[in-house]
Chain A
Amino acid sequence: MRDITLSKAVNEAIAEEMRRDPTIFLIGEDVAEAGTPFKVLSGLVEEFGPERIIDTPIAEPGFMGIAVGAAMTGSRPIVDLMFGDFLFLVMDQLCNQAAKTHYMSGGKLNVPLVLRTNLGATRRSAAQHSQSLHALVAHIPGLKVAMPSSAYEAKGLMKTAIRDNNPVVIFEDKLMYNDKSPVPEGEYLIPFGQANIKREGTDITLIGTSSMVQVAERAAELLAAEGISAEVIDPRTIVPLDEETILRSVRKTSRAIVIDEGHQSYGITGEIASRIMEKAFYHLDGPVIRMGAMDVPVPFSPALEDVTVPTPEGVAENARRLMRGEMFHAA
């Protein structure tokens, strides 16, 4: 198996699917010649032409609306939203239209649309280009939400997203585009709603999403050196969520920390922690700990920005405190 970057994996997934299915087109800002600011889509316009790799003006609500309409009428659009922060601009098209059309048309219309965008702070991109807003869309019934944690997941989940007959929002971590991981040469798909146990352990369950999977894995290494065996779980899609794998793990370990880069309040960490508490309560030997991004606008100052997101050291420290049976209090 070769190692390729996450960026290349996404590119391959889209190219393979576009070769397979002529109804697929891609639309967004700077997607053609520029290949996106992150160069993820480089080379696609050369192969598929400007009719299928469509550059738009800076007008997110417009091209999102176009894509939703196209999806209802037989195309399979992939919308490229340059930054996850721009989700706020397409909320009506995505949440009121795309998410509800199948339901409201009594199943007569499908919206096979993929919205690919990104999340992730610590890139010095300031408060309006650094948010992790996946919780916003995960809240809306009718939308599926995928969060790849490596190149392997990015390719397999993207292909599944493209073939899904429902709107899927896929969040890539913009800091991981150059991260390499083994990706098979041959075709593969990763089904939605199937978590991946990245590392087996017996003492504590660390559930991480997107790049927080790496944070959890590094924390697990720190803990292993101290004799604490951490299990790391990557849900891969938060809608649908593979609750059973998470619950099975927590029933085994009795302890859990949920790590996600969205703001901690009213976010994914709270949702997953709550499900664990409801469904594995009598297996818990300590509180389920949430570790999200600080509830502040993401600072531009690198020194400040770096402390707003969970770190392996922070996760390991909370794990140690759980193992010691310490009580947690709100700060």
Chain B
Amino acid sequence: MPALGMAQETGLIVSWLKQPGDAVRTGEALMEVETDKAVMEVEALADGFLSDVRAAPGESVPVGQVVAMIADSADVVPATQIRPVGTEPAAAAAPVALPEGQNIIMPALGMAQETGRVVSWAKVPGEAVAADDVLLEVETDKSTMEVPAGHDGFVAALLAEAGQDVPVGDVIAIITASKPDAPIQARAAAHSAVSEPTPVAPTAPAPHRALEAVVAPDGRILASPKARRLAAEEGLDLGRLVAAGHKQPFHVTDLETLRNLSVTQVDASILPVSAAPATMMHAAHQIGARAPLAGTIDFLARMEAEAGITLPPDTLWARFAAEAYRAAAGVAEIMVEVAALGADPRRIANPDRARLSDQSEDTSGRPAALILRDLTASPITTMRVGPSTAPILSIGKDGESYLLTLDFTDGQLSEDAAIAFITGFAGRLSEPLLHMI
């Protein structure tokens, strides 16, 4: 008896549309059932022959109770050959001699329930049982419930084991009126043919494109709102993460990397830096590089020893910077401003076209095309003080290296020119003599 309504406990058989022995096909109407809501036709769920009709028209039958069997042949099937739960018809070739009595089926406890799991049997085979006694505990996907025996008598057979999933309506136990001689306890081995519930395929998460390293086409740095806020609060430059080759978008965890990232860790192979948002008050681009101290020191020492000329290092830098800048940017005239931290800046026109010992200060007031900032006498390794009228090349010191940082904006230098400039400058610092010849 199927559950046709939600709160239905019994169904009234209005009429049988097939007679015992009639051939039936899956989907054919088998009987009419009336609930408190409606009269419905109930379809056959298997091909075969209607047999063993157990409820007459006008009879009210509890939901889940067997009302008839569909047999493989037109002969009426005796109750003793009712398939025990889960056994395939083929398994009937080795007939299980089941005792004759009241068949207890897996009840339908929920609406959409297809199977129930036997949690435990409250009775053992052979034990006396009263109709109200709990016979077993059944678990559905929703809850665990105790199921009463429903009949007085003796447990003659338990056809499902604890832990087994049994389709609703399958016979799981038999209760006989008299004490059975050889009560049956089904073992798992006896049910090797038990069909496993079809596992629902695990729901694969919808494929997402996880773009690991993303760079916005306009060069904007991609970072979470929190990472951007914290970076601004701490004065950290997310551009340096880009320069160091870290993947965007940046999150708060990347700030720890950024805090630990000194310029010394910037790859000497010189990486371009993406533009920071225009609202941020600093140069739009930055490039870092390094060069050995030894080149400059050795060269100045040689000048002093061999030519008796003592030069401050920035005269050499101004010359090299002008040379490299001219080559990279293709300019005819170049005014270089040299600014040591704490000292007054001085400007030199075309320092690459004058003798090293004769770099006179230009006092014409013409603006600088390039600013050299000497940080070597301070503990500062790099600094960024906001947009400037000209590219700023900062020279700091770290151990045996100069740390070179070029700050520039789009209007001042192209990325390619900036790379060529700082590469050329770093190369000259490494081998001054080579470039003086």
Contacts and interface: CB of A to CB of B under 8 A. Distances in A.
Q: Are A and B bound to each other?
A: yes
Contacts of B112: 123-125, 302
Contacts of A321: 208, 210
A306 B200 contact: yes
Interface in A5-38: 30, 34, 36-38
A326 B7 contact: no
Given A314-B205, A329-B209, A331-B208, A282 B253 contact: no
A251 to B, nearest CB: 9
Contacts of B212: 326
Interface residues of B, number: 28
Interface in A245-295: 254, 281-286
Interface string B191-227: 0000000001111011011111010000000001111
Interface in B138-187: 142-143
Interface in A60-85: none
B210 A326 contact: yes
Contact of A314 (B7, B203, B214): B203
B211 A282 contact: no
Nearest to B140: A178
B302 interface: no
Nearest to A303: B200
A39 B8 CA distance: 11
Interface string B240-257: 000000000101111000
Residue of A30, A125, A284, A306 ringed by the most chain B CB atoms within 10 A:
A284
A100 B122 CA distance: 58
B305 to A, nearest CB: 56
B297 interface: no
Contacts of B251: 285-286, 325
A108 B186 CA distance: 72
A178 B226 CA distance: 43
A311 B202 CA distance: 11
Interface string A304-329: 00110001011001100100011111
B435 interface: no
A281 B210 CA distance: 23
Contacts of B202: 313
A327 B211 contact: yes
A175 interface: yes
Interface residues on A, range: 35 or more
B7 A39 contact: yes
B307 interface: no
B111 interface: yes
A254 B252 contact: yes
Contact of A284 (B143, B203, B214, B224): B224
A306 B203 contact: yes
B434 interface: no
A123 B111 contact: yes
Contacts of A325: 224, 249, 251, 253-254
Residue of A39, A286, A306 ringed by the most chain B CB atoms within 10 A:
A286
Interface string B1-37: 0000011000000000000000000000000000000
A303 B143 CA distance: 21
B157 to A, nearest CB: 30
A284 B225 contact: yes
Contact of A285 (B208, B214, B252): B252
Given A123-B112, A178-B142, A34 B208 contact: no
Interface string A164-188: 0000000000010011000000000
Contacts of A326: 208, 210-212
Given A175-B142, A285-B252, A327 B214 contact: yes
Contacts of A313: 202-203, 205
Given A39-B7, A303-B200, A254 B226 contact: yes
B313 to A, nearest CB: 44
B203 A307 contact: yes
A232 to B, nearest CB: 20
A183 B430 CA distance: 79
A284 B211 CA distance: 19
A200 B229 CA distance: 26
Given A283-B226, A285-B224, A331 B206 contact: yes
A254 B251 CA distance: 10
Contacts of B211: 326-327, 329
A286 B224 contact: yes
Contacts of B6: 37-38
Contacts of A302: 112, 200
A288 to B, nearest CB: 11
A97 B289 CA distance: 73
B224 A311 contact: no
Given A281-B225, A282-B226, A325-B251, A178 B143 contact: yes
Interface string B93-135: 0000000000000000001100000000000000000000000
A285 B253 CA distance: 9
Nearest to A329: B209
Contacts of A328: 208
Contacts of B206: 331
Interface in A121-138: 123-125
B321 to A, nearest CB: 40
B214 to A, nearest CB: 6
A281 B209 CA distance: 24
B293 to A, nearest CB: 39
B208 to A, nearest CB: 6
Contacts of A282: 225-226, 229
Interface string B269-305: 0000000000000000000000000000000000000
Residue of A36, A179, A307 ringed by the most chain B CB atoms within 10 A:
A307
Contacts of B227: 285
Interface in B323-369: none
A318 B205 CA distance: 9
Contacts of B200: 302-303, 306
Nearest to A178: B143
A295 to B, nearest CB: 13
17 contacts: A36-B7, A37-B6, A123-B112, A125-B111, A125-B112, A178-B142, A179-B143, A254-B226, A283-B225, A303-B200, A313-B203, A314-B205, A325-B249, A325-B254, A326-B211, A328-B208, A331-B206
Interface of A: 30, 34, 36-39, 123-125, 175, 178-179, 254, 281-286, 302-303, 306-307, 311, 313-314, 317-318, 321, 325-329, 331
Given A307-B203, A314-B205, A326-B212, 9 more contacts: A37-B6, A39-B7, A125-B112, A285-B252, A313-B205, A325-B251, A329-B208, A329-B209, A329-B211
User: A-B pairs with the 9 shortest C-beta distances?
Assistant: A124-B112, A37-B6, A178-B143, A282-B229, A325-B251, A285-B224, A285-B226, A326-B210, A37-B7
